[in-house]
Chains A and B, each alone.
Chain A
Amino acid sequence: MSDPSPAGEVLRAPHVLDYTYTRSVGPVIGAFLTGLRQGRILAARADEGRVVVPPTEYDPLTGRSVGELVEVGPGGVVASWAWAAHPTADQPLDHPFAWALVTLDGASTSLLHVVDAGSPSAMSSGMRVRAEFRPEAERRGHLLDISSFVPEDAS
């Protein structure tokens, strides 16, 4: 028996958790992801003319099954944004970017994605942006098949 040393060294170690959920996406999100792989952004035509993207299986307000899927974008308007000055490793871009809610042309709702604008001074609510798709061979049926949005006047 002895006194534990109060000045003793405290151990520290990396502890990494890695696990993967595999989820079935259903017919509507499945069609949305399939569309992305084809370079198209599909939205759901809901009640009262609202166009919902990403599409839902049911109208978020009335609960009715949505009808046909329609193509929206690739252009749109930034509804709001936040600058990410220090991106973390698992974020979509490895350099500073804006998280943004983008209201795509033809859509009634906003889609969360990133805008590769270079600097926060290039960002403003109401600015026009356009979806940049990855090359077809790199697409995999995922929201990041759109690598980013870019300011429309910069392209």
Chain B
Amino acid sequence: MSGATTPGGAGEQVTMLDAPIHIDYAFTAGLAQSRFLKGLSEGRFLGQRCPRCGKVYVPPRGSCPTDGIPTTDEVELGNTGTVTTYCVVNVPFQGQAVEIPYICAQVLLDGANLAFMGLIQEIPADQVRMGMRVEAVWVAPEELGPSMASVRYFRPTGEPDAEYDSYKEYL
């Protein structure tokens, strides 16, 4: 119940209404994701492995969605991975931090069994492709924090593209 203005004097007809929405959450990350976030503040990707099926989840949620059991083993992953799929963002929106067009990709870190979203830079948008090998570029050490903002973006490593079969389960 707030907001609303229409320019003009008292006699001009009101035609528009601004209805601002403001929602305050206190986000609790949970144990597994807290470990992941603390890893980010050290410039590391920390995942967890399912003791039954062996899949490595990063970011971890603390349990395996397939087996329904806690993921007990912590696994540190490397800095490199593969673009499994991506989209080109051409639409400007409020709060946009990156110049358009840019690439929002699903990145599967080497050794992981779950892809997560990452920004791709240092390559023209029309040259990005599925299977492209990428590496994380981190912010300066003094700017690292418990947030995905610690990863500035991913950039091409220059290696040959990964075989489709190696990532087809992760599209």
Contacts and interface: CB of A to CB of B under 8 A. Distances in A.
A71 to B, nearest CB: 16
Contact of A20 (B1, B6, B19): B19
Contacts of B164: none
Contacts of B126: none
Contacts of A139: 10
Interface residues of A, number: 41
B34 A10 contact: yes
B31 A143 contact: no
Interface in B52-104: 72-76
Given A14-B25, A33-B17, 10 more contacts: A1-B49, A1-B75, A2-B74, A4-B48, A10-B31, A12-B28, A18-B23, A22-B16, A33-B14, A144-B2
Given A1-B73, A38-B10, A142-B4, A11 B19 contact: no
Contacts of B127: none
Main secondary structure of the interface of A (DSSP, over half): mixed
A141 B38 contact: no
Given A11-B146, A141-B5, A20 B14 contact: no
13 contacts: A1-B73, A3-B74, A4-B35, A6-B31, A12-B26, A14-B26, A15-B25, A15-B27, A18-B22, A20-B3, A20-B20, A90-B1, A139-B10
B21 interface: yes
**Contact-size category for B:** 35 or more
B32 interface: yes
A92 B4 CA distance: 14
A56 to B, nearest CB: 16
Contacts of B117: none
B14 A11 contact: no
Contacts of B18: 20-22
